[in-house]
Amino acid sequence: GMFMSERWPRGILNKGFGRQRSDAGAAQRPSRGEAELNGQPPRAPQVVTDSEEEEDEELTLKYGAKHVIMLFVPVTLCMVVVVATIKSVSFYTQNDGQQLIYTPFPENTDTVGERALNSVLNATIMISVIVVMTLVLVLLYKNRCYKVIHAWLFFSSLLLLFFFSFIYLGQVFKTYNVAMDYLTLALIMWNFGVVGMICIHWKGPLRLQQAYLIMISALMALVFIKYLPEWTAWLILAVISVYDLLAVLCPKGPLRILVETAQERNEPIFPALIYSSTMVWLVGMADNSEPRNNSVPAQSESQAVPMTPTSPTEDDGGFTSTWVNQQQHQLGPLQSTEDTRREIQQMPSARPPVEDDDEERGVKLGLGDFIFYSMLVGKASATASGDWNTTLACFVAILIGLCLTLLLLAIFKKALPALPISIAFGLVFYFATDNLVRPFMDQLATHQFYI
Amino acid sequence: MTAAVFFGCTFIAFGPAVALFILTIAREPLRVIFLIAGAFFWLVSLLLSSLLWFIVVQLSDQQNAAQQKGLLVFGVLLSVLLQEAFRYAYYTLLKKANEGLLSLSQEDTMPISIRQLAYVSGLGFGFMSGAFSVVNILADSVGPGIVGIHGDSQHYFISSAFMTMALTLLHMFWGVVFFEACEKRSWLHLSLVVCSHLLVSCLTFVNPQYLGSLIPTFVLLTVWAGWAFTCAGGTLRNLSLCLTCKDKDFLLANHHHRSR
């Protein structure tokens, strides 16, 4: 089931950054955090005054930088995992002759023209599959078929966490010639998978959840690297960036429609599709079996988070790739109504006063972005003859692209696609480094000249 | 060969730079970002110079070895000049960005001073330059092989590692002095930086006579270290205070609201 690929929210990146001070700063330490809004009536979006704006610029720079780093680290980790695997486990670079059903045309043809044609056809099929999937999702979401969506997500992460990790582990054992019995393996896989499902769909320690998200993104990227033939892969990367741009920014784009629908309904986003750098803590986590209702103050798109956690089994909110809101699912099925929260809120609290909210607003990046970034770098390290230079160049290019995207995000404060700039830089640097820089550096290294 | 050489050469080549990164840069997100941006600028300069070199090579006679070597020398010089040009471009960009932010913010100090930017960007250039020079060589050193079996020098790996270390640190020093020279509009200092870079690159033309290239490079390294230290505001007094841990306000750490 490669259908999973499309449900990963490619390319929309949204920071919980914004003008609203009423946001839930996601806090990692329980003593901080949003909760100011708990139990209180929702505040209308604040009108930003000029002085606030100027003051914000300075803070924005510092905290913006912090958020950029909070995304650099996981993206780097994911890429490192993918590159390390590609370089050591030969399985993922072997051409077994198998291809995905979405890319049926082979690339080992006789002529260049035929190969080009095949890759274009492959890319077209793959992209249309993705577009269709997105549209199906939009439809499902608009018709409130949350159960279907949720079952789909659940099944996909199940497949990834068990099946693909099993294959990965098997290949790693083969590479390092580790003897392993099925019983131990079953135990390991069971634990890994179940803990993963719990962390991703329910609640778990933040770091563990982030680690799992990185791991499944890396696994997915590795699958793509293995099964997509070369030209097809590059074409798909290029086209998907364009699609991302259109889907997020055009008024009729499916992802934008999703975002707007989610906003209208004041619903939070799907769990398990986003990487979030921080966690939301609630004061007085009231355990209530009532389903989450829309008593949560709605926030506008580029601002932060509703306070209530969402129960994954009941209401998933919208699939949006904008990550407007913080992930509440990390907190588990904590459902509280306004009344209970108000009660708790009014109890004397031993918390220190909340300091600056800005610091604790997290940043979110869709897992699809992780996957495609890692796929680019992995493909670069797998196929480039310039080897490490090309990989390094692509790595730096992607990070800079991400930085620029975040900068734009801070400027425009609306949902932005995270793929186009980074992938564009990555592709340019891949081809340029592989074809231009590599011969130059090789010659220099031969003579031991230094520049 | 293999593991010992690999780890040894890696630590020689990247040790000082990575130590500097971990101790002074890793904790400050802004510095990390500017470091990576500096690396990016170096990369773009390399790309441009490789493009030009590639074009020239395609237009030339590819069988003539002497000509190819001459073109390579030309490529090296071109690359050095382009690197310095991009350093200047990075400086202008940072200056403009800083001025913009300063005018917008209500505080009168910037979150990162131009001196810190000089250090960080120099180190970024150094990292990227070092990485591109030596990573492939290191990757090769892991595998089996015999160095210099055809009569080449046996000290290939270790000399590469030392040269890389020197260049990385030199880039950092050059960055500091360069930005300072631009700030003070001292074109003499600027041209000295450029000439020194050219000199170091030209010294490598005598490889594999490593004595001829490494020793002068390290001499230059110490000279530039001293100069950059003075440029950054260091004095012997500062140094002694710092080394005896009497200086509470360490040079780069804890820099919050002192404008430099």
* Mean pLDDT computed over A68-93: 92
Question: Could you tell me which residue, A204 or B35, shows the higher pLDDT?
Answer: B35
A197-206, A403-412, B129-138: which has the highest mean pLDDT? Answer: B129-138
Q: Is the pLDDT of residue A326 over 60?
A: no
User: pLDDT tier at A264 (50, 70, 90 boundaries)?
Assistant: confident
Q: Is the pLDDT of residue A133 over 80?
A: yes
Whether residues A65 and B33 touch (CB distance < 8 A) is answered with: yes
Q: Does A443 contact chain B (CB < 8 Å)?
A: yes
What is residue A185's predicted lDDT score, i.e. its pLDDT? 94
What is residue A420's predicted lDDT score, i.e. its pLDDT? 94
Amino acid at A1: G
Q: How far apart are CA A21 and CA A356, in angstroms?
A: 9
User: pLDDT tier at A17 (50, 70, 90 boundaries)?
Assistant: very low
- Chain B (4-63) residues lying within 8 Å, Cβ to Cβ, of chain A: 29-30, 32-33, 36-37, 39-40, 43, 46-47, 49-51, 53-54, 57
Catalytic residue among A23, A358, A369, A434: A369
Average pLDDT, chain B: 88
Q: Is the pLDDT of residue A433 over 80?
A: yes
Question: Could you tell me which residue, B97 or A240, shows the higher pLDDT?
Answer: A240
Question: Could you tell me which residue, A137 or A302, shows the higher pLDDT?
Answer: A137
What is residue B165's predicted lDDT score, i.e. its pLDDT? 96
Identity of the residue in A388, A429, A448 whose CB atom sits nearest the CB atom of B204: A448
Worst-scoring range by mean pLDDT, A47-61, A307-321, B55-69? A307-321
Q: Is residue A352 packed enough to be buried (19+ CB in 10 Å), middle (13-18) or exposed (0-12)?
A: exposed
Residues 6+ apart with CB under 8 A from A427: A234, A237, A238, A376
What is residue A187's predicted lDDT score, i.e. its pLDDT? 96
- Percentage of residues of chain B with pLDDT beyond 90: 62
Identity of the residue in B36, B83, B135 whose CB atom sits nearest the CB atom of A389: B135
What is residue A341's predicted lDDT score, i.e. its pLDDT? 63
Q: How far apart are CA A135 and CA B31, in angstroms?
A: 42
> Hey, what are A31's tokens?
């003593």
What is residue A138's predicted lDDT score, i.e. its pLDDT? 85
| Nearest Cα residue in chain B from A449 | B204
Q: A188 to chain B, minimum CA–CA distance in Å?
A: 31
Residue A365 β-bridge partners: A13, A275
What is residue A329's predicted lDDT score, i.e. its pLDDT? 46
- Which chain B residues contact residue A68 at CB under 8 A? 29, 33
* CA angle in degrees (0–180, nearest 5) for A341-A342-A344: 65
Phi-psi region for residue A397, left (φ > 0), alpha (ψ -120 to 50) or beta?
alpha
Q: Is residue B28 packed enough to be buried (19+ CB in 10 Å), middle (13-18) or exposed (0-12)?
A: buried
Q: Is the pLDDT of residue B98 over 90?
A: no
Phi then psi dihedrals of residue A318, to 5 deg: -95, 150
CB contacts < 8 A (A, B): 132
Whether residues A440 and B53 touch (CB distance < 8 A) is answered with: yes
Q: How far is CA B41 from CA A20, A287, B129, in A?
A: 36, 53, 11
Q: Is-catalytic flag, A244?
A: yes
What is residue B111's predicted lDDT score, i.e. its pLDDT? 75
ipTM of the complex, rounded to two decimals: 0.90
A255 near A7, Cβ under 8 Å? no
Whether residues B200 and A450 touch (CB distance < 8 A) is answered with: yes
Q: How far apart are CA B199 and CA B170, in angstroms?
A: 12
User: pLDDT tier at A59 (50, 70, 90 boundaries)?
Assistant: low
Whether residues A396 and B36 touch (CB distance < 8 A) is answered with: yes
- Which chain A residues contact residue B167 at CB under 8 A? 450
- Which chain A residues contact residue B128 at CB under 8 A? 392, 396
What is residue A257's predicted lDDT score, i.e. its pLDDT? 85
Whether residues A441 and B137 touch (CB distance < 8 A) is answered with: no
Q: Does A205 contact chain B (CB < 8 Å)?
A: no
Maximum distance among all Cα pairs of chain A, rounded to whole angstroms: 77
Q: B3 to chain A, minimum CA–CA distance in Å?
A: 16
- Which chain A residues contact residue B257 at CB under 8 A? none
Phi then psi dihedrals of residue A363, to 5 deg: -120, 150
Whether residues B101 and A393 touch (CB distance < 8 A) is answered with: no
- Percentage of residues of chain A with pLDDT beyond 90: 36
3-state secondary structure chain B: CHHHHHHHHHHHHHHHHHHHHHHHHCCCHHHHHHHHHHHHHHHHHHHHHHHHHHHHHHHCCCCCHHHHHHHHHHHHHHHHHHHHHHHHHHHHHHHHHHHHHHHHCCCCCCCCCHHHHHHHHHHHHHHHHHHHHHHHHHHHHHCCCCCCCCCCCCCHHHHHHHHHHHHHHHHHHHHHHHHHHHHHCCHHHHHHHHHHHHHHHHHHHHCCCHHHHHHHHHHHHHHHHHHHHHHCCCCHHHHHHHHCCCCCCCCCCCCCCCCC
Give B120-144 pLDDT, tens digit per residue: 999 999 999 999 999 999 998 888 8
User: pLDDT tier at A235 (50, 70, 90 boundaries)?
Assistant: very high
Residues 6+ apart with CB under 8 A from A54: B104, B105, B106
CA dihedral A249, A254, A260, A261 (to 10 degrees): 180
Worst-scoring range by mean pLDDT, A81-90, A321-330, A345-354? A321-330
Which of A136, A125, A124, A127 shows the shortest CA–CA distance to A257? A136
Q: Is the pLDDT of residue A95 over 70?
A: yes
Computed from CA positions of residues A187, A190, A193, A199, in that sequence, does the dihedral angle turn out positive or negative? negative
- Chain B (197-256) residues lying within 8 Å, Cβ to Cβ, of chain A: 200-201, 204-205, 207-208
Q: Is the pLDDT of residue B254 over 80?
A: no
* Mean pLDDT computed over B202-231: 90
Question: Could you tell me which residue, A32 or A130, shows the higher pLDDT?
Answer: A130
- Chain B (130-189) residues lying within 8 Å, Cβ to Cβ, of chain A: 131-133, 135-137, 139, 156, 159-160, 163-164, 167
Q: Is the pLDDT of residue A172 over 90?
A: yes
Whether residues A448 and B208 touch (CB distance < 8 A) is answered with: yes
Amino acid at A293: N
Give A384-393 pLDDT, tens digit per residue: 776 899 999 9
What is residue A134's predicted lDDT score, i.e. its pLDDT? 87
User: pLDDT tier at A344 (50, 70, 90 boundaries)?
Assistant: low
What is residue A23's predicted lDDT score, i.e. its pLDDT? 33
3-state secondary structure chain A: CCCHHHHCCCCEEEECCCCCCCCCCCCCCCCCCCHHHCCCCCCCCCCCCHHHHHHHHHHHHHHHHHHHHHHHHHHHHHHHHHHHHHHHCHHHHCCCCCCCCCCCCCCCCCCHHHHHHHHHHHHHHHHHHHHHHHHHHHHHHHCCCHHHHHHHHHHHHHHHHHHHHHHHHHHHHHHHCCCCCHHHHHHHHHHHHHHHHHHHHCECCHHHHHHHHHHHHHHHHHHHHHHCCHHHHHHHHHHHHHHHHHHHHCCCCHHHHHHHHHHHCCCCECCCCEEECCCCCCCCCCCCCCCCCCCCCCCCCCCCCCCCCCCCCCCCCECCCCCCCCCCCCECCCCCCHHHHHHHHHCCCCCCCCCCCHHHCCEEEEHHHHHHHHHHHHHHHHHCCCCHHHHHHHHHHHHHHHHHHHHHHHHHCCCEECHHHHHHHHHHHHHHHHHHHHHHHHHHHHHCCCC
| Nearest Cα residue in chain B from A56 | B105
Whether residues B72 and A443 touch (CB distance < 8 A) is answered with: yes
- Which chain A residues contact residue B136 at CB under 8 A? 386-389, 441, 445
Q: How far apart are CA A307 and CA A296, in angstroms?
A: 7
- Which chain B residues contact residue A72 at CB under 8 A? 32, 36
Residue A363 β-bridge partners: A15
- Which chain A residues contact residue B54 at CB under 8 A? 435-436, 439-440
| Nearest Cα residue in chain B from A438 | B50
Identity of the residue in A55, A397, A435 whose CB atom sits nearest the CB atom of B106: A55
Catalytic residue among A244, A316, A358, A434: A244
- Which chain B residues contact residue A396 at CB under 8 A? 36, 39-40, 43, 128
* Mean pLDDT computed over A14-31: 36
Whether residues B53 and A429 touch (CB distance < 8 A) is answered with: no
A19-23, A230-234, B8-12: which has the highest mean pLDDT? Answer: B8-12
Amino acid at A67: H
CB atoms near residue B14 (< 10 Å): 22
Q: Is the pLDDT of residue A74 over 90?
A: yes
Q: How far apart are CA A220 and CA A368, in angstroms?
A: 9
Q: A118 to chain B, minimum CA–CA distance in Å?
A: 30
What is residue B101's predicted lDDT score, i.e. its pLDDT? 72
Question: Residue B213 half-sphere exposure, CB side, CA atoms within 13 Å?
Answer: 24
